[in-house]
Amino acid sequence: MSPAQVHEDDTRGWIVPVGGAEDKLREPTILKRFLALSGEGKARIAVIPTASQLDDTPGRYERIFKDLGAEKCKALPYLERNDTDRDDWHELLEDATGIFFTGGNQLRLSTILGGTRVAKTIRRRNAQGITVGGTSAGAAILPEHMIAYGSVGGTPTAGMVSLAPGLGLTNRFVIDQHFRERDRLGRLLSALSYNPFAVGIGIDENTAAFISPNNVIHVEGAGAITVVDVSSLEHSSIAAANEGEALCLTNVKLHILPQGATFNLQNQEALPPAKNGD
């Protein structure tokens, strides 16, 4: 699934994957920044709670964004594929200045929204400049390749991870969420062993990667982002490894980036947070 083309008169919108469990009440800095990028007091937010099966998820996010100052916030609870044919909901999607996916099960997102006009519209609107983000499962779905599920552990092994098509906003990276809390380095490395084109982004809870239109990651939140750069990978044993066998990956570069740090997806340059006075 290829990202939508950005026309010469447009600038792609921000992409905002959140690692899950973001602070929603005490210090909601991540959601505040998402709202600011979506227009602040003029923001019209479309929340897509499809990944969640909790009844209170749609209303909770509507209240949160309205309390933060959004002009409008409406949840679009696509529960079945035929819900994506609703014209009234589609008009809200077309009018939104920000689109946010809640957490839950990312396979619910891909199986209900994949290939529909909703998915195509979200790709197009991000290519036209609006902000699109999501938390937990809603983060995993954003790129072209999505981690569907996998095992825990720090050592990558053959068969450790299963991939599925994502939303396709970009093909530059693969996301894994709840990263440090759920010990997911091994499955992210396993995902990257298949094809070293993408950058791996492991996002801790209450932490977000604010990815600018010029493809620079800006880290926000209480945890860190683990960036796995396989652009100079020299060897991957995935093609010959047996199920459950530890993988051999050589010349892999890893960065741990806390709040204020950046990573350029174009030239693979990582920069630490600026010191006070810089």
For this structure, is 235 an active site residue? no
How far apart CA 49 and CA 77 sit, in angstroms, is: 6
The distance between the two most distant Cα atoms of the chain, rounded to a whole number of Å, is 55
* 3-class secondary structure, 190: helix
Residue count of the chain? 278
Selecting among 38, 52, 110, 136, the annotated active-site residue is 136
Q: Are 254 and 154 in contact (CB under 8 A)?
A: no
Q: Directed axis angle between helix 29-37 and helix 57-67, to 10°?
A: 70
Query: Residue 196 and residue 36: Cα distance in Å, rounded?
Result: 34
Structure tokens at 116: 């529909």
Contacts of 172 (CB under 8 A, 6+ apart): 143, 198, 199, 215, 265
Catalytic residue among 22, 62, 205, 220: 205
Catalytic entry in 145, 178, 218, 255: 178
Measured distance CA(182)–CA(179) in Å, rounded:
6
CA 212/CA 3 separation, integer angstroms? 16
Q: Are 247 and 236 in contact (CB under 8 A)?
A: yes
Residues with catalytic roles = 136, 178, 205
